[in-house]
Structure 1
Amino acid sequence: MNADTPTLPDHDVVVVGGGPSGLTAALLFAYEGLSTALIAPEVNRTDGRTTALLQDSISLLDKLGVWADLKEKAAPLARMRMIDDTGRLFRAPEVTFDSTELGLEAFGYNIGNADLNGALADRAENTDNLTVVTGHAAGFAFSADGVEISTDQGGHVTARLAVAADGRNSKLREAAGIEVRTWSYPQVAMVLNLEHERPHHDISTEFHRKTGPFTLVPLPGKRSSLVCVETAEGALRLGEMSDGDLALELERRAHSILGKFTIATRRQMYPLSGLNARSLAGTRVALIGETAHVFPPIGAQGLNLSMRDVATLVDMAAKARRAGRDVGGGEVLEAYERKRRADILTRTSAVDALNRSLLSDLLPFQLARSAGLYMADKVPFLRRILMREGMAPGLRRGDLRQVSGRA
């Protein structure tokens, strides 16, 4: 497609990328009555990682009719505990955030990525208004009327709006000319699942160590998922250990709070980095998820931030369509940029600051982090504000019944 060939787009929206963000976006666009195409490879149904979904993300899955079955495969996150295990001069008190303080049964649920991806992919195959194109996006052309995307399988899709959900190395974002700012951390995250002899009681525990967070997140039964952030050298040492030796080392780092550990899945290693897109939108293109923002796995913020991107963009496009306006026009995209920018910058900055405060030996940084956690522990009003903001920006007391699904 080019400016000289005013071809009417076949779809209202095309979503590129089949992770949880892309799948959810495609399903929600179709649910709202927009003609939608999804270009993505076969879904990974063997991903051993897990995702902590907070209540606003669960509300989207419930809207799509997939959460009822997924809930049986997930573990509630009733309490979130943070423990300073740095051994430094200024150490913060242990802080526990309890969902009952907000009148909730749980902040959210932890679920396996394979289960989440599989449920979303199955629903996509059986959804009206949604065409699934298996493959990778290979070519892009933009015009005043829409976008044409060709695939590596020889097909092509045209739409008024293209949604980039193809990850941090997004080809669609690059084709749209949207620049990014990137940075790296001297850290590697080791991810795996564990079995343990003591129950977790639906408590997610995050130890703050000098190398980064060591986080145990509940799974159904006596199982937990682990994210262990280490130096590159430390991660290499852990990766070379036998399962038995690794289980003993991880139990030691967890201070045996869950008893004996058994390694339940293969270990996966991910060097930590960060990314912020200079803009969330270009000509006929909107960015969601990791095409727009990437930061370390702290505080269950990553996918939940992405889901808020999805909810905002779908809402704006659906309203534009109902009003007879162009769903991929500048008015919609500029409004999306304005609506999402503050939330993304705030979350990215907060997670970055907390992670760097763990790595820093400077006393002012240690003191500031300790003082902040001390206030969160001792001042109930502040703790409740932090809990509400952790779930969703601007969440008010009156919103909690709706978020929790209560009447």
Structure 2
Amino acid sequence: MAEPMNERPAHIAVVGAGATGLAAAITFARDGFDTVLIGRPSGQADGRTVALLDGSVTFLAAIGAWRQLAPAAAPMTCMRIVDATGSLFAPPPLTFHASEIGLDAFGYNIENAALVDGLAQVARATPRLTIRDAPLAAADSHAAGLRLTLADGDTLEPPLVVGADGRQSLVRHALDVAVRTWTYRQTALTAIFAHARPHRDTSTELHTRGGPFTLVPLPGRRSSLVWVCPPYQARRLRRMTADELASAVERQAQSMLGAMTLEGHCGVVPMQGLSVARFAGHGAALVGEAAHVFPPIGAQGLNLGLRDVAALRDVIVDARSRGQAIADATAMSRFSRGRLVDARTRTGVIDALNRSLLLDMLPLDLVRGAAMLTLDAAGPLRRLVMREGLAPRLGLPSLMRRAGAGFAS
């Protein structure tokens, strides 16, 4: 149950009660900032999961949330990449083990609904955090920052507004941030399947000409599916009965997990991208899908959003320690620059990987096959790629480092 509005004005208002917004609100409140979360947390069982990579798990543990989430998550101790493009230069399957870089697991896979519901439980028990169920109706710029108008008519003018309100962000619109969007001629089919054989905590990604086909472990003999394919194929798959779809998935997976059974409904995710010209300005900062949208490839979307939150936390805690305003223009500019580098780098890598699969060109196939063979053989390079795939080594926010800086007292 949400707390009533207290008389003490909020230092920070977080707009958006999805996973990123919830994590942000919990983080800031635990650091001693009076925080208002605007929006109603609601996890929907839609067949989608999120692979939380090691830095994200470390961060969620630091803010006191991982203990609540862990029982619903499955470890990913092994990642297997299979070239199923039919290329003449297809290399053997490439397998990465978390133990090679000193980790028990690359990360953990959890259903979106369980993630949001678990974070909401933590948020409701967090001191200095007020949840306002009324959604944001409008955000307007004024001399000192942003004025927020809620659907129930209340208005707020906090020193710092954090926009975690998704790809149609009202906060971003109020900041007048330039946005670039793009689409792919692909659709992602998502679902959860039970299967006859154990997954052995292994995430398997088949690279096909239509895009990646990925099975990620869940607790028990269950896995989540992200099948990126042409729109006509996605439409055909959606029209299938549950048994027909399960058989199609088993065939595509080369029966590696045995007979499959669909759990619940399958969903469709548009293959789109979004990037912003800046992450902050005029008393506000953008995090998560308000600042970047990724296609569901490479487990980058939410992990990048949580890095946004952890990086913003470092900046505002540092500003407070220096006696500066938490939305100090210099601090917000530093936050924006760092996040732009990280987001653009990840965008470029994911975009290049996806487009390389779609192009049936022998020279490109040769380069991709040679790269996979090199990674298989060159230990130091292999370990570097694994580490960078999880998170950037340079500039990693303090709460995502295993030796984390902890919370301010």
TM-score range for the pair, normalised by the shorter chain length: over 0.9
Structure 1 CA distance, aligned partners of 2:226 and 2:45? 18
* Residue 202 (structure 2) aligns with: 203
Structure 2 CA distance, aligned partners of 1:297 and 1:93? 25
Structure 1 CA distance, aligned partners of 2:171 and 2:221? 42
Determine helix, strand or coil for the equivalent of 1:265. strand
* Residue 5 (structure 1) aligns with: none
The aligned amino acid for 2:354 is N
**Cα pair distance change 1:336/1:404, threshold 3 Å:** closer
Is the contact made by 1:196 and 1:222 (CA closer than 8 Å) also made in structure 2?
yes
1:349-388 correspondence to structure 2 within 5 Å = 349-388=348-387
Is the contact made by 1:29 and 1:318 (CA closer than 8 Å) also made in structure 2?
no
Q: Which moved more, 1:42-51 or 1:100-109?
A: 42-51
Structure 2 CA distance, aligned partners of 1:395 and 1:203? 28
**2:120 counterpart of 1:125:** no
The aligned amino acid for 1:135 is A
In structure 2, runs of 5+ residues without a counterpart are 1-7, 405-409
Structure 2 CA distance, aligned partners of 1:169 and 1:112? 23
* Residue 256 (structure 1) aligns with: 255
Structure 2 CA distance, aligned partners of 1:247 and 1:376? 33
Structure 2 CA distance, aligned partners of 1:362 and 1:290? 33
Q: Which moved more, 1:149-158 or 1:359-368?
A: 359-368
Is the contact made by 1:272 and 1:296 (CA closer than 8 Å) also made in structure 2?
yes
In structure 1, runs of 5+ residues without a counterpart are 1-8
* Residue 94 (structure 1) aligns with: 93
**Cα pair distance change 1:395/1:219, threshold 3 Å:** farther
Structure 2 CA distance, aligned partners of 1:45 and 1:266? 12
> What is the TM-score normalised by the length of structure 1?
0.93
* Residue 62 (structure 1) aligns with: 61
> What is the TM-score normalised by the length of structure 2?
0.93
Is the contact made by 2:134 and 2:150 (CA closer than 8 Å) also made in structure 1?
yes
CA RMSD of aligned residues (A): 1.8
Q: Percent identity?
A: 45
Displacement of 1:370 in angstroms is 2.0
Is the contact made by 1:78 and 1:105 (CA closer than 8 Å) also made in structure 2?
yes
* Residue 43 (structure 1) aligns with: 42
**Cα pair distance change 1:141/1:227, threshold 3 Å:** same
Determine helix, strand or coil for the equivalent of 1:266. strand
**Cα pair distance change 1:198/1:78, threshold 3 Å:** same
The aligned amino acid for 2:246 is A
Determine helix, strand or coil for the equivalent of 1:228. strand
Structure 2 CA distance, aligned partners of 1:94 and 1:403? 31
* Residue 219 (structure 1) aligns with: 218
Determine helix, strand or coil for the equivalent of 2:160. strand
* Residue 109 (structure 1) aligns with: 108
**Cα pair distance change 1:42/1:117, threshold 3 Å:** closer
* Residue 14 (structure 2) aligns with: 15
Q: Which runs of 4+ in 1 moved over 4 A?
A: none
* Residue 243 (structure 2) aligns with: 244
**2:331 counterpart of 1:327:** no
**Cα pair distance change 1:178/1:389, threshold 3 Å:** same
Determine helix, strand or coil for the equivalent of 1:259. coil
Is the contact made by 1:92 and 1:374 (CA closer than 8 Å) also made in structure 2?
yes
Is the contact made by 1:177 and 1:282 (CA closer than 8 Å) also made in structure 2?
no
The aligned amino acid for 1:173 is R
Displacement of 1:275 in angstroms is 0.7
The aligned amino acid for 2:104 is E
Determine helix, strand or coil for the equivalent of 2:159. strand
* Residue 185 (structure 1) aligns with: 184
* Residue 72 (structure 1) aligns with: 71
Determine helix, strand or coil for the equivalent of 2:320. helix
Determine helix, strand or coil for the equivalent of 1:127. coil
Determine helix, strand or coil for the equivalent of 1:217. strand
* Residue 30 (structure 1) aligns with: 29
Is the contact made by 1:55 and 1:403 (CA closer than 8 Å) also made in structure 2?
no
Displacement of 1:395 in angstroms is 6.1
Structure 1 CA distance, aligned partners of 2:230 and 2:120? 36
Structure 2 CA distance, aligned partners of 1:328 and 1:368? 46
Structure 1 CA distance, aligned partners of 2:56 and 2:222? 23
What are the Cα deviations for residues 299-347 of structure 1, in whole angstroms up to 9, with x where unaligned?
2111111111110001111221232211112111101012222111110
**2:168 counterpart of 1:169:** yes
